[in-house]
């Protein structure tokens, strides 16, 4: 059949080969060690976890625990397709870890889509209010949830109009002459939301009453109002920079049945046990998949110890002996702004704890001195708190390696003028991470987070909140996928979507862990979180968050409920790499790295900032890298942020831990004041080779003297505006480019930004802010217009002659734009030939309109150009292409050991090559963004049947058999899919050969 044979296996894994061979009862190739293969299914009940009798998820976990001690190869747990409905998180710990250098791998069974779901499926809807088109279904009384998804699309909690007029803040309530609010039922479930500057603040109501003069008074829950208005937490450096803004207006009112007036809105009456929903056009609730999330976290991978929070010096279990005094309000960076201190040698402090170790937090200064440390009555250390200048919250003594149990630490003053105690951090367990666990191709979806329903949303910044119930300790939005104290935990090719909180969180000293090639979208909170905000003082590297990687991911539409959330957030981290991610369509910043504000900056710089006291300590962050990311369409709701935002210090000034911000493309920046925003305390950064274009604000900003020691050079921008009030800033103005005439070096940055080719889905829809589109002229970009644009954003220009060009490989293309009364004529060129003028004027606005379309092009490279010729505006929403992708594309995944690449056959193959396999069970998988896909390949007498799986669902089989060889035949095609991301898997089931020549995506 084939004229030549290539030896490559296309990167197929031995584990998958063993799986396929086991399924087909054929011998597997020889490997150095045979992996253990287990299986799980949503309804599994087997005890051996075999392919024919798979276990439940918990059953597979138990089997893993019994087998890990003698691991000589990776252990693979294949999850069959379907929904694993979880009432609580699937939990893995140290006992579930890989051993002997091998991993336990939880992976999707080839061609299937396992979904770890935290939702209950709701059915039984009936028409409740025919005049309003509202349907109702019964749910168990007491069901708590803040989210609903219908056919995979997020529904909106019943909400009033944006920025309603007529409200006046009076006491802890908002009054209005509008009497309709007084008729709202379940008033204590109603919430008010205030989006202001960089914060979202929300509170439940205590009641709704009628004032003496009529109208309505929305009376806010008193505790929540205090936390968001009258007593806004403001702990200062290193926890926050300012308490403001505060809740003093209403952006919208949410969660009342009486607000249920728009298609796609829902209301859950928890106490009565009813779910109300107003369907969108085309939705049929008798057949729709309606998912009501009730679980907060789906996966919890946790080692020990967990989260560590210091015990303050005022804790009543601490015993002070001698002439100790307490000093509060010093504003010197103390934990909770207070310390205990003594001047008498021999004075002591004791604390009894249960654990394996303890850190002593104190202040170091020139007037501090010696301290003897006793544990259980035995002297174990003599330390000194003496230093040339004051540093707050220093670990002056640390004890580890104790037998887990009850111990007493005693500190005795032996020298210096003062001995100061700021707190203790107890380490309850030895550091034992969960480790060497991998998750591949899994979907985590449908969670909720109910704390805001009772406590409100007490915002600090970027999804970091205050917990008034625990002395205003910082807390973060919980994640659907949570890792605490992990090591070598890897997520590859996973999808995390439709969450009520953050997507995924590498927390509490997680090290050497990776999130790669994953699709994280439609989250209520952030996309990815790494690190903590309250472990800045650590000196024990085993407890630091270090060595993690977030790379090659697609992160979009985060912050769907909590507008301060960001695409990627990192707190205190060391040697974190954030590279080649695509982050877009966010309400606030695209990325935020670092914490602490000016805490690590010297007192002289704090003074120059106008601060009258100096809260100064050390942090362990440093050596972080932000490289080659594409960050776009950000800051759609809030203000005072940017595509890439940094905060707090990096490194220690000797060059050993300088952080790098390089090679990034930031664009479409909406409410942005700085596109590269190096905020308060940012220090020891090397910022270079970035491109900032199309949007508002300066290209870079450093607004205050606590920002220091940043080297800024070799950047590119379409605006010369910047802000530099930092200290010791080496500032080189960017190369300023006009009209889109980017020099070759900048073009290289643009081309390399975002995921590489191997991690890009095939696509039939090119959005207007895709890096493949080249804009020349004076284009602007606008997000969150609310008109129905694709991804709710467009590019537009008012200048005749401005152009937008796309070079693509395919057979058809359409120009997608807008028609409206302020639009005019545009000219379209294909491969340099004008196709004429096209009128985009219309009496009413039409979004995602097809301005021009052509098909029947030769399967090859083409260029389409869109040129404004008349009218006030020309608007581009993107292009639709029928893209042709050769079998050699790096984003095509071939699974199985028998695949080979065959070039130069001379049979009429596209680009004269194919991939082919002879083994039943071998498969090929492509992920694409569009509405349809076709397999175009050869048919022949030695071809056979192919099993088709689309988005994890079987589509039956197709047959590539024919009486004689025919090249470039359409063997499988599908169209009319919802515009979005899809996955197609083709598996060989018959015949001598399965041949792949190309895929056409629409």
What one-character-per-residue DSSP string does 428-494 give?
A: -S--B-EEEEEEES-EEE-----HHHHH-B-EEETTEEEEGGGTTEEEE--EEEEEESEEEEEEES-
pLDDT in tens, 573-599: 999 999 999 999 999 999 999 999 999
pLDDT value at position 656? Answer: 80
Find the mean pLDDT for residues 99-116. 96
8 A C-beta contact, residue 849 and residue 803 = no
pLDDT in tens, 523-568: 999 999 999 999 999 999 999 999 999 999 999 999 999 999 999 9
Residue 817's pLDDT band (cuts 50, 70, 90): very high
pLDDT in tens, 314-328: 999 999 999 999 999
- Tokens at residue 34, please? 């045979």
Classified as helix, coil or strand, 622 is strand
Sheet of 419-421: strands edge to edge?
Answer: 325-328, 338-342, 419-421
CA distance 897 to 8: 9
Its pTM stands at: 0.96
- Tokens at residue 687, please? 């910022």
| pLDDT higher than 50, residue 108 | yes
Q: Hey, which residues does 995 pair with through a beta bridge?
A: 916
8 A C-beta contact, residue 589 and residue 462 = yes
- Tokens at residue 739, please? 């009209």
Find the mean pLDDT for residues 22-43. 60
Averaged pLDDT score across all residues of the chain = 95
CA distance 578 to 723: 25
Find the mean pLDDT for residues 400-408. 98
8 A C-beta contact, residue 515 and residue 538 = no
Residue 35's pLDDT band (cuts 50, 70, 90): confident
Classified as helix, coil or strand, 795 is strand
Using left for φ > 0, alpha for ψ between -120 and 50, and beta otherwise, residue 258 falls in alpha
CA distance 6 to 467: 61
Find the mean pLDDT for residues 514-518. 98
Q: Give the residue from 391, 461, 572 showing the smallest Cα distance to 235.
A: 461
Sheet of 568-570: strands edge to edge?
Answer: 90-92, 299-302, 479-484, 502-507, 528-530, 568-570, 591-593, 644-646, 674-678, 698-702, 722-724
Q: Give the residue from 852, 866, 838 showing the smallest Cα distance to 774.
A: 866
Strands 338-342 and 325-328: antiparallel
pLDDT value at position 782? Answer: 85
8 A C-beta contact, residue 630 and residue 568 = no
- The sign of the torsion formed by the CA atoms of 433, 298, 498, 976 equals positive
Residue 975: count of CB within 10 angstroms of its CB: 10
pLDDT in tens, 118-158: 999 999 999 999 999 999 999 999 999 999 999 999 999 99
pLDDT value at position 6? Answer: 31
Task: State how far the alpha carbon of 925 is from the alpha carbons of 12, 107, 916, in Å.
Answer: 12, 15, 14
Q: Hey, which residues does 987 pair with through a beta bridge?
A: 923, 947
| pLDDT higher than 70, residue 26 | no
Q: Give the residue from 896, 892, 975, 979 showing the smallest Cα distance to 937.
A: 892
pLDDT value at position 27? Answer: 34
8 A C-beta contact, residue 324 and residue 551 = no
Classified as helix, coil or strand, 97 is coil
Q: CA end-to-end span of the chain, whole Å?
A: 31
Q: What share of the chain is helix, strand, coil (3-state, %, to 5)?
A: 10, 45, 45
Residue 33's pLDDT band (cuts 50, 70, 90): low
| pLDDT higher than 50, residue 671 | yes
> Which residues does 749 contact at the CB level (< 8 Å), separation at least 6?
628, 663, 664, 665, 689, 690, 691, 716
| pLDDT higher than 60, residue 618 | yes
CA distance 173 to 201: 15
16-20, 150-154, 228-232, 622-626, range with the lowest pLDDT: 16-20
- Tokens at residue 710, please? 């940043």
8 A C-beta contact, residue 566 and residue 502 = no
Find the mean pLDDT for residues 209-213. 95
CA distance 189 to 454: 9
The owner of tokens 């697609």 is 554
CA distance 195 to 640: 12
The owner of tokens 């976290």 is 297
| HSE (side-chain half, CA atoms, 13 Å) at 587 | 25
Q: Which helix (H) or strand (E) segment is 340 a member of?
A: strand 338-342
Classified as helix, coil or strand, 95 is helix
Find the mean pLDDT for residues 782-787. 90
In the chain, pLDDT over 90 holds for what percent of residues? 95
Residue 69: count of CB within 10 angstroms of its CB: 8
- The sign of the torsion formed by the CA atoms of 603, 609, 613, 614 equals negative
> Which residues does 876 contact at the CB level (< 8 Å), separation at least 6?
768, 773, 794, 795, 796, 804, 815, 816, 817, 866
> Which residues does 840 contact at the CB level (< 8 Å), separation at least 6?
817, 818, 819, 820, 823, 824, 825, 826, 849, 851, 871, 874, 875
Find the mean pLDDT for residues 380-408. 98
pLDDT in tens, 346-379: 999 999 999 999 999 999 999 999 999 999 999 9
Classified as helix, coil or strand, 653 is coil
CA distance 519 to 441: 10
CA distance 954 to 975: 16
Find the mean pLDDT for residues 868-881. 98
Q: Where does 25-95 have alpha helices with state H?
A: 57-67
């Amino acid at each position: 059949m084939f004229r030549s044979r290539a030896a490559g296996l296309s990167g197929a894994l031995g584990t998958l080969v063993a799986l396929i061979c086991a399924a087909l009862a054929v011998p597997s190739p020889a490997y150095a060690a045979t992996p253990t293969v287990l299986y799980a299914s949503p309804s599994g009940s087997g005890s051996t976890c075999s392919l024919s009798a798979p276990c439940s998820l918990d059953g597979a976990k138990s089997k893993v625990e019994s087998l890990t001690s003698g691991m000589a190869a990776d252990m693979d747990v294949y999850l069959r397709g379907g929904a694993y409905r979880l009432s609580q998180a699937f939990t893995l710990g140290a006992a579930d870890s890989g051993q002997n250098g091998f991993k336990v791998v939880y992976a999707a069974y080839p061609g299937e889509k396992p979904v770890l779901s935290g939702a209950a499926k709701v059915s039984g809807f009936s028409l409740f209010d025919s005049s309003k088109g509202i349907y109702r279904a019964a749910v168990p009384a007491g069901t708590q949830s803040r989210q609903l998804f219908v056919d995979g699309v997020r529904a909106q909690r019943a909400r009033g109009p944006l920025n309603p007029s007529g409200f006046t803040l009076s006491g802890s309530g908002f009054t209005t002459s509008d009497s309709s609010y007084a008729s709202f039922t379940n008033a204590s479930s109603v919430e008010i939301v205030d989006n202001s500057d960089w914060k979202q603040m929300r509170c439940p109501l205590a009641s709704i009453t009628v004032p003496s003069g009529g109208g309505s008074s929305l009376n806010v829950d008193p505790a929540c109002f205090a936390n968001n208005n009258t007593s806004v937490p403001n702990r200062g450096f290193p926890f926050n920079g300012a308490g403001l803004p505060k809740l003093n207006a209403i952006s919208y009112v949410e969660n009342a049945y009486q607000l249920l007036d728009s298609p796609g809105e829902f209301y859950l009456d928890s106490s009565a046990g009813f779910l109300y929903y107003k369907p969108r056009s085309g939705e049929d609730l008798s057949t729709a998949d309606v998912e009501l999330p009730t679980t907060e976290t789906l996966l919890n991978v946790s080692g020990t110890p967990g989260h560590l929070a210091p015990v303050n010096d005022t804790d009543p279990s601490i015993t002070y002996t001698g002439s100790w005094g307490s000093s509060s309000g010093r504003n010197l960076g103390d934990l909770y702004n207070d310390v205990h201190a003594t001047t008498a040698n021999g004075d002591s402090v004791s604390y009894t704890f249960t654990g394996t170790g303890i850190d002593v937090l104190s202040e170091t200064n020139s007037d501090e001195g010696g301290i003897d440390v006793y544990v259980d009555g035995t002297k174990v250390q003599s330390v000194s708190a003496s230093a040339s200048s004051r540093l707050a919250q220093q670990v002056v003594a640390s004890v580890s390696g104790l037998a887990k149990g009850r111990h007493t630490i005693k500190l005795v003053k032996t020298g210096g003028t003062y001995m100061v105690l700021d707190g203790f951090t107890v380490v309850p367990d030895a550091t034992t991470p969960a480790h060497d666990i991998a998750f591949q191709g899994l979907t985590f979806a449908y969670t909720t987070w109910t704390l805001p329903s009772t406590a409100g949303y007490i915002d600090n910044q970027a999804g970091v909140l205050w917990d008034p119930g625990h002395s205003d300790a910082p807390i973060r939005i919980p994640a659907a996928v949570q890792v605490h104290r992990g090591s070598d935990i890897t997520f590859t090719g996973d999808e995390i979507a439709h969450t009520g909180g953050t997507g995924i969180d590498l927390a509490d000293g997680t090290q050497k862990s990776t999130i790669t090639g994953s699709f994280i979208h439609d989250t209520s909170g952030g996309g990815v979180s790494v690190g903590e905000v309250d472990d800045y003082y650590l000196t024990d590297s085993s407890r630091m968050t270090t060595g993690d990687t977030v790379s090659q991911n697609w992160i979009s539409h985060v912050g769907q409920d909590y507008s301060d959330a960001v695409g990627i957030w990192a707190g205190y981290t060391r040697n974190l790499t954030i590279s080649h991610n695509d982050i877009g369509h966010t309400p606030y910043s695209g990325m935020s790295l670092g914490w602490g504000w000016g805490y690590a900056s010297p007192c002289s710089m704090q003074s120059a900032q106008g601060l009258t006291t100096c809260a100064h300590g050390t942090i362990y962050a440093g050596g972080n890298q932000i490289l080659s990311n594409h960050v776009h369409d950000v800051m759609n709701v809030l203000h005072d942020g940017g595509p890439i935002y940094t905060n707090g210090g990096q490194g220690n000034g000797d060059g050993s831990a300088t952080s790098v911000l390089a090679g990034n493309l930031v664009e479409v920046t909406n409410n942005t004041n700085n596109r590269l925003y190096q905020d308060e305390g940012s220090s020891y950064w090397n910022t270079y080779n970035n491109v900032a274009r199309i949007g508002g604000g300066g290209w870079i900003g450093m607004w205050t003297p606590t920002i220091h020691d940043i080297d800024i050079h070799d950047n590119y921008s379409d605006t010369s505006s910047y802000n530099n009030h930092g200290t010791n800033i080496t500032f080189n103005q960017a190369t300023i480019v006009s009209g889109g005439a980017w020099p070759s070096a900048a073009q290289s940055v643009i081309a390399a930004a975002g995921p590489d080719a191997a991690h890009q889905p095939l696509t039939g829809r090119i959005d207007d802010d895709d890096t493949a589109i080249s804009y020349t002229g004076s284009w602007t970009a606008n997000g969150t217009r609310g008109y129905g644009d694709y991804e709710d954003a467009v590019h537009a220009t008012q200048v005749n002659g401005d152009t937008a060009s796309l070079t693509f490989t395919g057979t058809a293309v359409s120009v997608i734009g807008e028609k409206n009364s302020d639009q005019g004529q545009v000219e379209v060129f294909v491969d340099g030939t004008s196709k004429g003028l096209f009128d985009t004027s219309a009496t009413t606005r039409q979004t995602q309109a097809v301005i021009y379309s052509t098909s029947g092009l030769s399967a090859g490279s083409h260029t389409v150009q869109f040129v404004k010729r008349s009218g006030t505006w020309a608007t581009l929403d993107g292009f639709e292409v029928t893209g042709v992708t050769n079998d050699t594309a790096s984003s095509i995944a071939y699974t199985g050991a028998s695949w080979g690449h065959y070039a130069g056959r001379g049979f009429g193959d596209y680009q004269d090559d194919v991939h082919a396999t002879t083994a039943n069970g071998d498969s090929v998988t492509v992920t694409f963004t569009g509405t349809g896909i076709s397999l175009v390949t050869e048919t022949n007498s030695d071809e056979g049947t192919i099993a088709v799986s689309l988005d994890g669902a079987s589509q039956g089989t197709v047959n590539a058999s024919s009486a004689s060889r025919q090249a470039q035949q359409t063997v499988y095609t599908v169209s009319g899919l919802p515009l979005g991301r899809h996955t197609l898997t083709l598996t060989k089931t018959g015949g001598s050969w399965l041949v792949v020549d190309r895929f056409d995506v629409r």
